[in-house]
Amino acid sequence: MPYQSPSAEAPRRASVNVNSLSLMRGRGEPIAMLTAYDASFAVLADRAGVDVILVGDSLGMVCQGRKSTLPVRLEDICYHTESVVRGLEAQGGTAMVIADMPFGSYHASLDQAIRSASALMQAGAQMVKLEGGAWVIDMVDQFVQRGIPVCAHLGLMPQTVHAIGGYRLQGKTPEDAERLREDALALEQAGACLLVLEMVPASLAVKITDALKACHTIGIGAGCGTAGQVLVLHDMLGMKIGRTPRFVKDFLAQTGSIEGAFAAYVAEVKTRSFPVDEVHGF
Ligand code: KIV
């Protein structure tokens, strides 16, 4: 049956949580994630059926006008998370909210990482996201033991842009692909519930997705074979300030309204008509 976006009259879905994400994966329903940084966009995304709202550190670039995500502070993410959560609560929203851990908020010590993650949970997030492979495994385990659900992030990790010399495809060589697969398995073992895979070959994303059972992959520039998709809000609304990555689709251009763009995004993710590997993938 073709996917239908919820209408204004449709009964509200139950709140999205870690269990419903697993149920979605179990029934083969892709998870639709989108970034949002304020109350109004979060409410419209929620009404359109977006499952998960990510308060990403991409806000450094799209809201604060910075060159990278590195200058974003923990207070910034707390502020935007509170705005998103306040909007959803006021409007009976049911989307799950994930807050990104910004650069420097988990790099110094486990103690610092736990304090930062706790601040984001107290701001209203239901899960935190952090970038990294082997070096964050223990951190993920410690978060999970303390009741903090984790979304991991592998492939292109924008917080490492200066170390890797640009925003480019990851996991291209057999060695890099194998390291990514091993990191993904270790993150799942440590208790990560979701895993963002950014800018990796579609074939590798499928391999990792299939290897993981309790951890669900969310792709961005990772092809159509992941358990879900995520895009940056401003990108999918066609706001061309800088370079537009190949994996982005302008949903506003095809629909003419923000509500329409969100509904089309959800419908295309749910029916796996977005992304198209030949057009948006690597
Ligand atoms: O910060 C962000 O928006 C992200 C997404 C690109 C996944 O990490």
Q: What is the mean pLDDT of the chain?
A: 96
Average pLDDT over residues 204-214: 98
Ligand 1: residue of 31, 34, 196 to mutate (most ligand atoms within 8 A of CB) is 196
Decide if pLDDT at 8 tops 90.
Answer: no
Looking at ligand 1, which atom is closest to the CA of residue 232?
3
Does the Cβ of 154 fall within 6 Å of ligand 1? no
Residues involved in catalysis: 198
Residue identifier of the C-alpha nearest atom 6 of ligand 1: 232
- The CA 213 to ligand 1 mean position distance, Å, reads 23
Q: What is the pTM of this model?
A: 0.96
pLDDT attached to residue 1: 41
**DSSP characters over 46-115:** HHTT-SEEEE-TTHHHHTT--SSSTT--HHHHHHHHHHHHHHHHHTT---EEEEEPPTTSSSS-HHHHHH
Least confident of 14-23, 30-39, 57-66, 237-246: 237-246
Q: What is the pLDDT of residues 247-280, one digit of tens each?
A: 999 999 999 999 999 999 999 999 999 999 898 9
Looking at ligand 1, which atom is closest to the CA of residue 196?
7
Looking at ligand 1, which atom is closest to the CA of residue 129?
8
Within its chain, how far is the Cα of 162 from the centroid? 22
CA neighbor of 70 nearest in space, from 36, 98, 97, 105: 105
Three-point CA angle 49, 192, 278, nearest 5°: 55
